[in-house]
Amino acid sequence: MARKKNYLNNKDLYLEIIRSKENDKLTKTAEKMLILLTDRVSRKMIYLDYKDREDCIGFAHLDVFKYWKSFNPAKSENAFAYYTQIIKRGLAKGWNHVHPKKYTGTIRIDGGESSDGIYSM
């Protein structure tokens, strides 16, 4: 039985990131790899609708392209796991932005016209 080929190989991603760090700019191949990784990781999550997924992917793209340089090849050769974690955190950041948490056990009281504002108890 033939083994199924992975959609993204850790060694290939690692080598592209090394090339990118040498040039101080992401290569087109590395960009495509990170976009593919973001898409695949986002499919593991559950969303209320497709717009939530798109918003979360946007946050993940922002984070992975913002922090791509922080990968330290001397510390680890597992670029796949490193960027997967950044993407997962970006997806969570997007979800929390789209669906902010409600505080449990509080009562909201809107102040009147003469009030200084809104209070929580």
Confidence (pLDDT) at 47: 87
Confidence (pLDDT) at 104: 63
Q: Cα 98–104–108 angle (5° rounding)?
A: 85
Residues 84-107: tens digit of each pLDDT? 999 999 999 999 999 887 666 655
Rg, C-alpha atoms of the chain: 20
Report domain extents, the chain: 10-120
Q: Enumerate long-range contacts of 24-31, CB under 8 Å, 24 or more apart.
A: 26/65, 26/68, 30/68, 31/65
Q: Which residues neighbour 58 within 8 Å (Cβ) at sequence distance 6 or greater?
A: 94
Q: Which residues neighbour 26 within 8 Å (Cβ) at sequence distance 6 or greater?
A: 20, 34, 65, 68
Residues 49-60: tens digit of each pLDDT? 999 999 999 999
The segments of the chain whose pLDDT lies below 70 read 1-5, 102-121
Confidence (pLDDT) at 111: 52
